[in-house]
Chains A and B, each alone.
Chain A
Amino acid sequence: MLIKREFETVEMPINVGPQHPSTHGVLRLVMTLDGEQIVKVDPVIGYLHRAVEKLSENLRYQNIPHLFDRLDYVSAFNNEWPLAMAQERLLGLEVPPRGEYLRVILCELNRIASHFLFFGAFGHDAGTATSWMYGFRERERIQRLFEMVSGYRMMHDFVVPGGVREDVPEEFVPALRALLPVLWQGLGDCNNLLTENEVLVTRTRDIGVITGEEAISYGLSGPSLRASGVREDLRLTEPYSVYPDLDFDVVLGQHGDSYDRYWVRMQEVAQSLRIVEQALDRLPGGLVCTPGLPKYPKLLKLPVGETYARAENPRGEFGVYLISTGGDRPYRLKIRAPSFCNLMALPRLMEGHYLADAIMILGSLDVVMGEVDR
Chain B
Amino acid sequence: MDLLVTLAVLTLQIVLLFNVVMFIVLALVWLERKVLGRVHQRMGPMRVGPHGTLQSLADGIKLLLKEDLAPSSAERFAFLLAPLLVFAPSFLVFVAIPFTRDIVVRNLALGLVYFVAVSSLSTVGMVLAGWSSSNKYALIGAARTAAQLISYEIPLVLVVLSVAMLGGTLDLRGLVESQGQAGPYVLWQPLGALIFIMAALAEVFRPPFDIPVAESEVLGGPMIEYSGMRWGLFFMAEYGNAFAFSALFVLLFLGGWQGPLLPPILWFLLKTSAVILVFFWMRAAMPRLRIDQLMGFAWEVLLPFAFLNLFLTGVVQLYRWPLWSLSLLSLTGLLALGYVVERGRVTWRRSPSLAS
- Interface set of A (CB-CB < 8 Å, partner B): 12, 14, 20-22, 36-37, 39, 123-130, 133-134, 137, 193-194, 197-203, 205-207, 351-357, 359
Contact = CB atoms under 8 A, between A and B. Distances in A.
A199 B36 contact: no
Interface string B268-309: 000000000000000011111111110000000000000000
A248 to B, nearest CB: 30
Nearest to B42: A133
B123 to A, nearest CB: 19
B286 A356 contact: no
Contacts of B350: 206
A197 B287 contact: yes
Contacts of B68: none
Nearest to A137: B41
B287 A128 contact: yes
Contact of B349 (A39, A194, A202, A359): A202
Interface in B21-36: 36
Nearest to B353: A352
Given A129-B40, A199-B289, 7 more contacts: A123-B287, A127-B216, A128-B287, A129-B36, A207-B351, A352-B351, A355-B217
A200 B219 CA distance: 20
A23 to B, nearest CB: 10
Interface of B: 36, 39-42, 136-137, 140, 207-208, 210-211, 214-217, 219, 284-293, 341-342, 345, 348-356
B114 to A, nearest CB: 33
Contacts of A127: 207-208, 210, 214, 216, 286-288
A125 B291 contact: no
Contacts of B345: 198, 201-202
B41 A133 contact: yes
Nearest to B344: A202
A277 to B, nearest CB: 25
B288 A203 contact: yes
11 contacts: A39-B354, A123-B287, A133-B40, A200-B287, A202-B290, A203-B289, A351-B353, A351-B354, A353-B353, A356-B211, A356-B290
Contacts of A14: 136-137
Nearest to B284: A130
Contacts of B290: 202-203, 354, 356-357
Nearest to A363: B216
A205 B349 contact: yes
Contacts of A22: 216-217
Q: Which of B286, B291, B292, B350 has the most CB of A within 10 A?
A: B286
Contacts of A134: 40
Contacts of B284: 128-130
A256 to B, nearest CB: 14
B346 to A, nearest CB: 9
Contacts of A202: 289-290, 293, 345, 348-349
A134 to B, nearest CB: 8
A124 B288 CA distance: 10
Q: Which of B342, B345, B354 has the most CB of A within 10 A?
A: B354
Q: Which of B140, B217, B354 has the most CB of A within 10 A?
A: B217
A124 B208 contact: no
A205 B287 CA distance: 14
A37 to B, nearest CB: 7
